[in-house]
Amino acid sequence: MPGPYDIFVLVKQVPDQGSKAGLNPDGTIDRARAKRMLNPFDRYALQAALHTKRTYGGRVTCISMGPPPAVEVLLEALEHGVDRGVLLSDRRLAASDTLATAYALHKTILWCGHYDLIFCGLQTTDGDTAQVGPQIAERLNLPQVTYCEDFSLDVENDRLKARRIIEGGCQHVISQLPALITVANSYHPLEYKSFRGAWKVAYLQRHADELSKVITTVDLDIIGAESDRCGLKGSPTIVAHTDKVGELGGSCKVSEGQAPEIMVSDVLKASNVKEFLAVS
């Protein structure tokens, strides 16, 4: 019978949008000034990975690609119950677009070894392309279930049953394992950190030798990636122009407790809209 499962989850550290980091003069995000956080969409992927482990058994490996501070998101994942972390960090990865990112991450996955399920977030709050998960699935020649909001494993047949969001409804799909899933934010929110997990991380942070057994930092040479296919060299995408979007200001008026027509008319008056299409 299949299982326990080798479960992988990919998480990215992103600038905290609340920290108002702004842009560099060349239009790139000023990451050095930004506070850092776990990509909010990856919290659902983490929950899906941990749920799979608890329900069906297995081991969760959490992978992140980024500069050294990205180890923070791996520590956070450990507090939630993942078993090991792998950080891909290499200066030659700077300015990687999605093609280069997916290449480097799929090489990291191959370096880590056997996998049954790979979970990704739907998208990130900085790059926001939602391309990395599907590109990794293509590179690994895996079936992919995108926009997945619920799933279960058919352990006997080594298959996955999933419900994914499509325009106007949902779709039920069955896939053979191994497979890659991008998890929608209508999936269950990430549970609280466990006391055991928080204690373990606190201990590991005081014992660097023990920490290095649980979180491995790798570079392009270790994972056997070609540096020409990473970073700026491996990125055909060119950011031609960047615009700074002004902050949305203004006050908020709430219309409530009246007939719908009156409330709609109130809102339209407040927003200075002269004409509208009535929808019953």
Binding site for ligand FAD (CB under 6 A): 10-12, 39, 41-42, 45, 63-66, 94-98, 101, 105, 120-121, 123-124, 126-133, 235, 237-239
Say what angle helices 71-80 and 42-56 make with each other, to 10 degrees: 40
Q: Which is nearer to ligand FAD, 41 or 147 (CB)?
A: 41
Degrees, nearest 5: CA angle 73-235-224: 65
The answer to whether the CB of 8 falls within 8 A of the CB of 58 is no
* Cα distance between residue 114 and residue 160, in whole Å: 17
Q: Which is nearer to ligand FAD, 92 or 163 (CB)?
A: 92
Taking the complex as a whole, the smallest distance from the CB of residue 279 to ligand FAD amounts, in Å, to 33
Taking the complex as a whole, the smallest distance from the CB of residue 29 to ligand FAD amounts, in Å, to 7
Q: Which is nearer to ligand FAD, 33 or 253 (CB)?
A: 33
Q: Which is nearer to ligand FAD, 63 or 153 (CB)?
A: 63
Taking the complex as a whole, the smallest distance from the CB of residue 197 to ligand FAD amounts, in Å, to 20
Taking the complex as a whole, the smallest distance from the CB of residue 278 to ligand FAD amounts, in Å, to 38
SS3 17: helix
CA-nearest of 54, 75, 94 to 11 is 75
DSSP for 230-249, please give it. STTTT---------PPPPP-
Q: Which is nearer to ligand FAD, 126 or 266 (CB)?
A: 126
Taking the complex as a whole, the smallest distance from the CB of residue 182 to ligand FAD amounts, in Å, to 7
